[in-house]
Amino acid sequence: MTIRPARPEEAPRLAAIVEVAYGPWVPVVGRRPFPMDDDYAARIAAGEAWVLEEAGAVRALLVLETHPDHLMLDNIAVDPARQGKGDGRVLLDFAEAEARRRGLPEIRLYTNVLMERNIALYAKRGYAETERRQEKGFARVFMAKPLA
């Protein structure tokens, strides 16, 4: 497996992975989660989109935003056919390493309050809840992990 910056021609593949990965959350949240309508061509152009590639095929993606005092993990999505195989863990490890490489002391993320499985997964990875608030029409849980 390789993690690399996404290429412009891969924007439709990223959107397709997000569509199937987040699809099961639509009935839970009551609407399409924000990443389902993101502009992946713009994310790629901005250097924010990364892919996990195996045997020449994109299996998962990560969207990272650089801020002055932290790295924001804006989105992580794994092709459902690959879920449970450790791809998400590999991408989370990469995000943390990338924050360190950029000299940032913290990585942050947010998820929907109804995505309890995700909240528990991030907590097991060392992320602590910092706040809950409504943002862009979503009830979000914000989490952060300081990096040593």
The per-residue pLDDT for 82 is: 81
- Cα–Cα dist 12/22, whole Å: 15
Eight-class DSSP state of 6: P
The predicted model gives 76-100 an average pLDDT of 91
Residue 148 in this model has a pLDDT that exceeds 80: no
Q: Which two tokens stand for residue 125?
A: 């990875």
pTM, 2 dp: 0.91
For 8-65, write each residue's pLDDT tens digit: 999 999 999 999 999 998 998 888 988 999 999 999 999 999 999 999 999 999 999 9
Cβ contacts of 131-136, under 8 Å, gap ≥ 24: 135/110, 136/34
What backbone torsions phi and psi does residue 47 show, to the nearest 5 degrees? 75, 25
Residue 83 in this model has a pLDDT that exceeds 80: no
For 108-140, write each residue's pLDDT tens digit: 999 989 888 889 999 999 999 999 999 878 889
Amino acid identity, position 144: A
The per-residue pLDDT for 120 is: 94
Contact 52, 91 (CB under 8 A): yes
Q: Which two tokens stand for residue 57?
A: 């095929």
The per-residue pLDDT for 51 is: 98
